Structure 1
Amino acid sequence: MRALGGAAPREVIVVGVDGSDSSRSALRWAARQAELTGAELRAVQAWRLPVTYGMPVDYSGGDFEGRAREELRRTIEEVLGEHSGIPVVPLVVEGHPSLVLTKAARNADLLVVGSHGHGAFAGMLLGSVSQHCVQHATCPVLVVRTADD
């Protein structure tokens, strides 16, 4: 779609990253697509406080967001290389991954997710996060499967 009186706006590809093999494959695919199309690539990692099952816990010493940010940075570097020519916008957002990803992709042209990430039940063809994204995202969704799938 063209902007009034100017060039077409840059396409946006959102990719979910959680460090799993499946999300690494999704990041690799999304980066290649961004390179081919000139799209902006946004790598999104969700984080949440650990579940405590009603027990009081002091989280004051835990920088969960900082750890998620470092994990995302490290994953991008490992998958795409230190000097990748593809600019990546890293986004770390608190919340459930399926909700974070569908919200981040609200105005995107494409959402890319792995077929299952951390916490998936063994043998599932499609993880709960990818299933939610397919059903609820407002843009096309590509689910990347790994060779083990």
Structure 2
Amino acid sequence: MDRTIERVHVDGGVVVGVDSSASAARALEFAAEEARRRQAVLHVVRAWSIRTAPRPADVPASVVPSMEQFQEAVRADTERIVAEHVPDRVTLDLRIHIVHSPSPQALLSASRGADLLVVGHRGRGGFAGLMLGSVAEQCVRHAACPVLVVRPAV
């Protein structure tokens, strides 16, 4: 059974884009605090592709994982990230959305129903610190709600 999700639909709350970068972890921490302040739902969105997904640990190196195995590996990695950076998550209404989609499309889709979209300044690519990352820039330009871009710690 294919449970791959390609779009995120939310009804209010704070949406944060997460990957395995330090910038995304910082954005997650800011988003969690903002959701607490607003007493709002925190929607953690993790977009993935086969290129960006962590390899499922239980699949031998000689075997190509299924889409569902990749999806579950991404979910487990995202839950680990959330547990590390939102230690008091039980006090939040927190929902994790694992989306097989390019990051900008997943976040822009979620922004249509969100009160606030939070993204990190720099994810995995580009010249760090030079300018906004391409995902953050697309979100700032095209999101349907206010966007908070969290800069790296100095």
Alignment CA distance shift 1:123-1:29 (3 Å): closer
Per-residue deviation, residues 53-110 of structure 1 (Å, max 9, x unmatched): xxxx955488221111111100000001165412210000001001110101111110
Closer/same/farther in 2, CA of residues 26 and 121 from structure 1, 3 Å limit: same
- 1:79 is matched with 85
Equivalence for 1:12: 13
Gaps of 5+ in 1: 1-9, 52-56
> Scaled by the length of structure 2, what TM-score is found?
0.78
Q: 1:124 to 1:63 in 2, by over 3 A?
A: farther
Residue identity over aligned pairs, in percent, reads 41
* 1:23 positional shift: 0.7
Q: Contact conserved, 1:47 with 1:96, CA < 8 A, in 2?
A: yes
Deviations 1:114-143 (A, max 9, x none): 001122333432100000000010100000
What are the equivalent positions in structure 2 for 1:7-46 lying under 5 Å apart?
A: 11-46=12-47
Distance in 1 of aligned mates of 2:87 and 2:34: 16
Match of 2:94 in 1: 88
Q: 1:134: which partner in 2?
A: 140
Q: Quick one: structure 1 residues 69 and 122, their matched pair in 2 at CA, closer, same or farther if it must change by over 3 Å?
A: same
**Which structure has more RCO (C-alpha within 8 Å, separation ≥ 6)?**
2
User: Structure 1 residue 19: deviation in Å?
Assistant: 1.9
Which TM-score applies when normalising by structure 1? 0.81
Greater C-alpha radius of gyration: 1
Bigger CA drift: 22-31 or 77-86?
Answer: 77-86
Q: Distance in 2 between matches of 1:37 and 1:138?
A: 19
- Secondary structure (helix, strand or coil) at the match of 1:35 reads helix
> Aligned with 1:39: secondary structure?
coil
Pick aligned residue for 1:114 from 114, 117, 120: 120
Structure 2 stretches lacking a partner, 5+ long? 1-10, 53-62
CA RMSD of aligned residues (A): 2.2
Contact 2:12/2:113 (<8 A) preserved: no
Given that 1:97 and 1:129 are in contact with CA atoms closer than 8 Å, whether structure 2 keeps it comes out as: yes
Number of positions where the alignment pairs a residue of Structure 1 with one of Structure 2: 134
Q: Which deviations, in whole Å up to 9, do the C-alpha atoms of 1:10-41 show, x marking residues without a partner? A: 84110000021111111111111111110111
